[in-house]
Amino acid sequence: MSKQGSGFTLVFISAVAALGGFLFGYDTGVINGTQFYFSKYFELTAATKGWVVGSALLGCFAGAIIAGPLSRSYGRKISLILSALLFTVSAWGSGLPGFVPESVTMLVVFRLIGGLGIGIASMNAPMYIAELAPAKVRGKMVTLYQMAIVLGFFIVFIVTYFIGSGGDETYNLERGWRLMFWSELVPCLLFFLLLLLVPRSPRWLVLKGRDEEAKKVLIRIHGEETANREMGEIKESINQEGGVPIRQIFKRSIIPIILIGSVLSILQQFTGINAVLYYGADIFEKALGFGQEDVLAQQILLAGVNVIFTVLAMFTVDGWGRKPLVIWGAIGMFAGFSMLGFTIMFDMVGIVSLIGILTFIGSFAMSMGPIVWVILSEVFPNSIRSVGMSIAVAAQWAANYFVSQTFPIVVESETNVDGIWNGALPYFLFMIFIAVIVWFTVKFIPETKGKSLEKIEKIWEEKYGKIG
């Protein structure tokens, strides 16, 4: 047996799992490029348009809820394969013409199916990567997931831009938006096929009593010496905890961990990131004065900044640590929305406003974007990791839906439009939550840099008592 693990194997496995994040970003972003055309095609009202755009988020919430028991029963790998199949069905059906009758309802059904896939992948992909990666590079490997999300956004904006610019409005109303949906079939099928080549999670295998299989996976990735040590720590942790996960989460020592993970997950959405990404076109057009013809180009600019700063996070998370990145990123987000908010409030919209929104995006991309996924994949004990992460991710999707539905309401409210805010109110509300992130991180989030998943459990035991 090899004494040394294979770095290539680890990167390959992590990259394959991260494709779930790519599809998360692609599927979420494709709705931005298509909604202008399918809204006209179906002659949607504003309320119905909001329902079609937001319906996938309800699927995400449901997918995150079922992801926990699904992952525990059938494993992280099988759960990701199921998510790939759901993505494929959604992409195919969302653009399929000829329903009898063709209807908005069918489009919503397929968007909900895609949402289920996102919900399952968003819980299982980062957890799977974290359970295979060694402590010293775990942050970088899990950050691949967020990198894949922002690459998905970036690529889909480019794809929809070129599909949309390849024909006139009549073409895009009849066929263009369908091709935008169908373009997702390529990464969907790639994700499915590559998942057949990766191993199961060693921690899940130990939970199922399949120790020999788990050890083979660990040796393949870490080498024999490290694998023996990891096996010992995993078995000791799981044997000490025991119990049934659904009972475990109600223990006094577990509830604080669940709450901390869920609150951090919710705060990621209350930064306002998805209000910016989902409604970026409206922000550029109404708040920053860009014309409709520039909308997709501006979205590409946002996605490009997102990619660059996610790369920065990837190469600093295991060196600088999780907490410093979150805190400095929150300060940057606060500064960015301050520039945007005050320039809107005082009718000084211009280059400072654009710098503000790009500062916000960049700061999020190096902090709350990737680091929340890293922390969530680390903080839950072995025996309840799938259930705990499922709860935290479901809470995140619920928060995402809430922000996405209320943002346009706040934007168009009389208080925002006619009052002293002059259209800036949403950004100042987000700034309050960003300030809360700094306080919450300092007070409740432990630094997990360089610690094994089993050692992180011991940090919680010292604070809240024995987990098992």
CATH 1.20.1250.20 applies to domain 242-468:
yes
Say if residues 241 and 385 touch (Cβ distance below 8 Å): no
No. of helices (H) and no. of strands (E), the chain: 24, 0
Mean pLDDT of 115-127: 92
CA 400 vs CA 55, 146, 317, 393: distances in Å: 12, 16, 25, 10
Taking only the tens place, the pLDDT of each residue in 341-366 is 998 899 888 888 888 989 999 999 99
Supply 340's token pair.
């945007």
Q: Residue 286's pLDDT band (boundaries 50, 70, 90)?
A: low
Mean pLDDT of 372-400: 88
CA distance 322 to 130: 14
Calculated CA dihedral for residues 34, 40, 43, 44, nearest 10 degrees: 40
Task: Please report, for the chain, the start and end positions of each structural domain, with discontinuous segments joined by +.
Answer: 1-198, 242-468
The pLDDT, as a whole number, for residue 304 is 83
The pLDDT, as a whole number, for residue 100 is 42
The pLDDT, as a whole number, for residue 230 is 80
Q: Residue 161's pLDDT band (boundaries 50, 70, 90)?
A: confident
Q: Which CATH class is domain 1-198?
A: mainly alpha
Q: Residue 293's pLDDT band (boundaries 50, 70, 90)?
A: low
Supply 316's token pair.
């600093």
The pLDDT, as a whole number, for residue 185 is 95
Closest to 268 (Cα-Cα) out of 392, 428, 388: 392
The pLDDT, as a whole number, for residue 246 is 59
Taking only the tens place, the pLDDT of each residue in 204-230 is 898 888 989 988 888 888 778 778 888
CA distance 60 to 75: 19
DSSP string, 309-323: HHHHHHTTHHHH-HH
The pLDDT, as a whole number, for residue 398 is 92
Region for residue 198 given its phi and psi (left: phi exceeds 0; alpha: psi -120 to 50; beta: otherwise): beta
Taking only the tens place, the pLDDT of each residue in 295-310 is 566 667 777 888 899 9
Percent of the chain with pLDDT over 70: 89
Asked whether residue 403 carries a pLDDT value surpassing 80, the answer given is yes
Q: Does the fold of domain 242-468 match that of domain 1-198?
A: yes
Say if residues 264 and 371 touch (Cβ distance below 8 Å): no
| 236 vs 187, more confident | 187
Taking only the tens place, the pLDDT of each residue in 246-273 is 566 777 778 899 999 999 999 999 999 8
| 240 vs 138, more confident | 138
Sequence-distant (6+) residues with CB within 8 A of 54 are: 401, 404, 405
Asked whether residue 190 carries a pLDDT value surpassing 80, the answer given is yes
Taking only the tens place, the pLDDT of each residue in 75-98 is 999 999 999 999 999 999 988 876
CA 119 vs CA 71, 86, 92, 389: distances in Å: 12, 11, 19, 11
Closest to 271 (Cα-Cα) out of 438, 57, 434: 434
